[in-house]
Amino acid sequence: MAAQKHKYSILLPTYNERRNLPIITYLLEQTFSQAGLDWELIIVDDGSPDGTQTIANQLIKAYNTRGAGGERIKLKPRAGKLGLGTAYVHGLQFVTGDFVVIMDADFSHHPKFLPIMIEKQKEADYDIVTGTRYAGDGGVFGWDLKRKLVSRGANLVADTVLRPGVSDLTGSFRLYKRAVLEKVIKATESKGYSFQMEMMVRAKAMGFKVAEVPITFVDRLYGESKLGGEEIAEYLKGVFGLWYKV
Amino acid sequence: MTRAQQTLSIGLLLSSMYMVAFLGLAPIPETLQNDLIPVLPFWAIVTFGAYLLAKLGYGVLTFNDVPQAHQELVKQIEQARVELKKKGVEVD
């Protein structure tokens, strides 16, 4: 039986990530070449005013080669901030791989976990592999007590109300089979924070097999974090909305 | 079945069971009927609340810190900047 050739497409929505983008691209390239895996990076930039697209084009010149499979990096921008969900839908059109990776551009999600997630997926042909900060030897860096409390509290609320069966529901570092991602996104309605959560809850409800891999989450080195009282209210609305809908 | 439907169904089931006991419709020994049944809901809520709090506290206490990951990352960023500059990519 011929071995199946897999290709891993990274979907990276960006907004003002000119400092993080080159580094994350470098790390991705390193990781995938060392692991000997076929990959591509699709950058969906929402019209960043800070010149993210200029950097993206420089990266394209630096990393893409002619010939089959040489187009490693693709820039597929949009005119403005149109939301995370639609960014994924937009990016998915250009995916040529059979697996899609969702992650953050600010190295809170380190590409070194991708080979681990890929191995995990092969173990039992999982539909989705998600990173967890809460289980095993996962963890965080740069979070004070308050931040940890909020994070654990939020996860506990979601866990109790939704009983999803994954330890890190709000995480957004995931490997999907391409067809699975397409199906789940079609069914997802939320915007913002709830979006990632809803995708996982819906995926579980649809009966997809999900595995978890502990990851370390290093909080933003460049850029500010967006967490406030308003976000918390939004989050609770999201959780209970899902409780009602799914 | 949505999670809401699930939760509400279980809630309804437990409430009916409790009402049967509360109204004395089931054969329950006297001491239980008089001392336990009336306070059962409050006891259940308090226990559940305490359980959640304990879970939260435990979760925060066992939340792994990973300074090595940070250090490793900082080193890799430096490497990245050197390599990228060579390839003509702006890094600031």
Q: Which residues of B touch A156 (CB under 8 A)?
A: 52, 55-56, 59
Maximum alpha-carbon separation in chain A: 56
**Chain A residue with Cα closest to B81:** A23
What pLDDT, on the 0 to 100 scale, is given for residue A174?
94
Q: What is the pLDDT of residues A177-222, one digit of tens each?
A: 999 999 999 888 877 667 888 899 899 989 999 999 999 888 865 4
Angle at A106 between CA A102 and CA A111, to 5 degrees: 55
What pLDDT, on the 0 to 100 scale, is given for residue A143?
85
* Cα Rg of chain B (Å, integer): 28
Quick check: B38 pLDDT over 80? yes
What pLDDT, on the 0 to 100 scale, is given for residue A218?
84
Report residue B3's pLDDT band, with 50, 70 and 90 as the boundaries. confident
Q: Which residues of A touch B84 (CB under 8 A)?
A: 22-23, 26, 62
The residue with tokens 């921008």 is: A77
Please tell me the distance from the alpha carbon of residue B47 to that of residue B31, in angstroms, as a whole number.
22
Contact of A170 with chain B, judged by CB distance below 8 Å, is answered with no
What pLDDT, on the 0 to 100 scale, is given for residue A221?
55
Best CA proximity match to A100, nearest among A10, A197, A202, A199: A10
Helix (H, G, I), strand (E, B) or coil at A141: strand
- CB–CB contacts below 8 A, A to B: 102
Quick check: A1 pLDDT over 70? no
Q: What is the pLDDT of residues A214-246, one digit of tens each?
A: 998 888 654 445 567 777 788 888 888 888 888
Q: Which residues of A touch B4 (CB under 8 A)?
A: 243-245
Residue burial A198-207, b: 16+ Cβ < 10 Å; e: rest: bbbbbbbbee
By DSSP bridging, strand A99-102 and strand A174-177 are antiparallel
Residue A161 · residue A243 · CB < 8 Å: yes
* ipTM for the assembly: 0.79
Percentage of chain A beyond pLDDT 70 is 94
Please tell me the distance from the alpha carbon of residue A162 to that of residue A69, in angstroms, as a whole number.
42
What pLDDT, on the 0 to 100 scale, is given for residue A223?
44
Best CA proximity match to B90, nearest among A45, A105, A29, A61: A61
What pLDDT, on the 0 to 100 scale, is given for residue A2?
47
Best to test chain B binding among A20, A26, A217 (most B CBs inside 10 Å): A26
A30-44, A79-93, A148-162, B21-35: segment of lowest average pLDDT: B21-35
Please tell me the distance from the alpha carbon of residue A88 to that of residue A195, in angstroms, as a whole number.
11
From A112's Cα to the closest Cα of chain B, the distance in A is 10
The residue with tokens 């308090």 is: B46
Percentage of chain B beyond pLDDT 70 is 100
Residue A177 · residue A99 · CB < 8 Å: yes
Q: What is the pLDDT of residues A73-121, one digit of tens each?
A: 999 999 888 888 888 999 999 999 999 999 988 878 899 999 999 999 9
Report residue A169's pLDDT band, with 50, 70 and 90 as the boundaries. confident
**Chain A residue with Cα closest to B70:** A218
Quick check: A3 pLDDT over 70? no
What pLDDT, on the 0 to 100 scale, is given for residue B34?
80
What pLDDT, on the 0 to 100 scale, is given for residue A135?
84
* Cα Rg of chain A (Å, integer): 17
Helix (H, G, I), strand (E, B) or coil at A53: helix
Q: Which residues of B touch A170 (CB under 8 A)?
A: none
Q: Which two tokens mark B9?
A: 């169904």
Report residue A144's pLDDT band, with 50, 70 and 90 as the boundaries. confident
A55-64, A221-230, B62-71: segment of lowest average pLDDT: A221-230
Please tell me the distance from the alpha carbon of residue A93 to that of residue A89, in angstroms, as a whole number.
7
Quick check: B44 pLDDT over 50? yes
How many other C-beta atoms can be found within 10 angstroms of the C-beta atom of residue B83? 16
Q: Which residues of B touch A27 (CB under 8 A)?
A: 76, 80
Contact of B80 with chain A, judged by CB distance below 8 Å, is answered with yes
Quick check: A5 pLDDT over 90? no
Tell me, what DSSP letter sits at residue B65? B
Residue A166 · residue A208 · CB < 8 Å: no
Higher pLDDT pick, A223 / B26: B26
What pLDDT, on the 0 to 100 scale, is given for residue A222?
47
Judged by CB atoms closer than 8 Å, whether chains meet at B63 and A63 is answered as no
**Chain B residue with Cα closest to A51:** B90
Quick check: B52 pLDDT over 90? yes
Among candidates B2, B63, B77 on the partner chain, residue whose Cβ is nearest the Cβ of A152: B63
- CA count, 13 A, side-chain hemisphere, A121: 23
Amino acid at the residue B77: I
From B2's Cα to the closest Cα of chain A, the distance in A is 5
Average pLDDT, chain A: 87
